[in-house]
């Protein structure tokens, strides 16, 4: 699909041979999700220490309380993300705020094993500070994967693809067959152009249409009109009323 190059959509092939598209989340939004999780964890730590050392310590004694607190820290440090990501929503609370989800690269939900892998490797992604390794790694991979994602075969995606706004505006153009054969990518680009064109200002439409001047062979409004015409033609190549022209040469060559 041509769309994959212009945005962060990534094609994934399901087991059934169907290609679906995921919108992969970038560094910024993931960092914000991480910060929210961090704040939540800090709040939990504060709450737990108040609960344990003020209330439990009197009942259980200071040493048992300290032990329990260490165990609690251990599980929070290593399993906070694992439990949420392997859960039904596939996302930590911070990720849910930004409508993100951890997915297996196969398109399915993350298994417990994958969640363990990607989160245990955080230690290395964090090095030398503030996830520098992870961020560099994300910038150099097509699907914004940090080391943990690479080993666990996971990606962080948006839960939903962005909705395309469809403008219901009739297009003032005559259908026009393109003057040359268009590749699939070019056809897709034209079709997307006509879907989105009504949403843009006139200047923007003209600017984009002028990029297709080699195809339309006309500048300015005329080029835009021709481009829209070709897109309409692609949408409905044969006009229902039109009768096909008689094939004159065919009879000769057949006999």
Partner 1 sequence: MTPAQFEKQIEPRWQKLEKLLAEAEQNHPTAAVDELPATFRQVCHDLSVAQHRMSPQRLTQKLNALALRTYRVLERHSAGGWEAFVRLFFVEFPQAVRAEWRLFWWCTALFYLPAVLIAAITPAHPEWAMALLGPEGMVQIESMYGESSKPSDFVRESYGSGFAAFCFYIWNNVSINFKTFAGGILGGVGSLFVLMFNSLFLGAVFGYVHYSGNPMTLYAWVVAHGAPEITGMIIAAMAGMRVGWSVLRPGRMERREALVLAGRKALPLLIGAAILTSLAAVLEGFWSPLNLPLSIKFASGGMCWVLLTVFLLFSGRRSGNAA
Binders of partner 1 among 43-102, rule CB under 8 A?
A: 60-61, 63-64, 66-68, 70-71, 73-74, 77-78, 86, 90
Q: Does 231 bind partner 1 (CB under 8 A)?
A: no
Calpha distance 166→160 (Å, rounded): 17
Q: Please identify, among the stretches 47-55, 184-192, 198-206, 244-252, the one whose residues bind partner 1 according to the rule CB under 8 A.
A: 184-192
Instruction: Please select the residue that binds partner 1; options are 136, 151, 173, 206, rule is CB under 8 A.
Output: 151
Residue number with CB closer to partner 1 (43 or 167): 167
Binders of partner 1 among 5-44, rule CB under 8 A?
A: 14, 16-22
What are the residues binding partner 1 (CB under 8 A)?
A: 1, 3, 14, 16-22, 60-61, 63-64, 66-68, 70-71, 73-74, 77-78, 86, 90, 106-109, 111-113, 116-117, 120-124, 147, 150-153, 160-161, 163-164, 166, 184, 187-188, 191-192, 195, 234-236
């Amino acid at each position: 699909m041509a769309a994959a190059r212009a945005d962060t959509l990534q094609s994934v092939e399901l087991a059934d041979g169907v290609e679906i598209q995921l919108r992969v989340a970038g560094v910024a939004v993931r960092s914000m999700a991480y910060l929210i999780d961090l704040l939540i964890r800090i709040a939990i730590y504060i709450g737990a220490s108040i609960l344990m050392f003020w209330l439990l310590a009197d009942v259980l004694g200071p040493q048992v309380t300290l032990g329990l607190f260490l165990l609690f820290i251990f599980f929070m440090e290593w399993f906070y993300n694992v439990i949420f990501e392997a859960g039904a929503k596939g996302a930590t609370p911070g990720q849910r705020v930004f409508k993100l989800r951890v997915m297996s690269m196969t398109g399915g939900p993350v298994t417990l094993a994958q969640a363990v892998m990607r989160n245990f490797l955080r230690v290395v992604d964090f090095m030398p500070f503030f996830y520098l390794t992870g961020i560099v790694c994300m910038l150099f991979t097509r699907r914004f994967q940090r080391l943990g994602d690479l080993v666990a075969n996971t990606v962080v995606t948006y839960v939903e693809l962005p909705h395309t706004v469809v403008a219901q505006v009739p297009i003032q153009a005559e259908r026009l067959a393109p003057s040359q054969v268009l590749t699939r990518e070019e056809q897709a680009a034209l079709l997307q152009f006509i879907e989105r064109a009504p949403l843009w200002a006139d200047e923007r439409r003209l600017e984009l249409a002028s990029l297709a001047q080699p195809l339309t062979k006309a500048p300015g409004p005329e080029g835009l009109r021709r481009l829209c015409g070709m897109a309409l033609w692609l949408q409905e190549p044969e006009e229902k009323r039109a009768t096909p022209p008689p094939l004159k040469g065919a009879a000769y060559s057949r006999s």
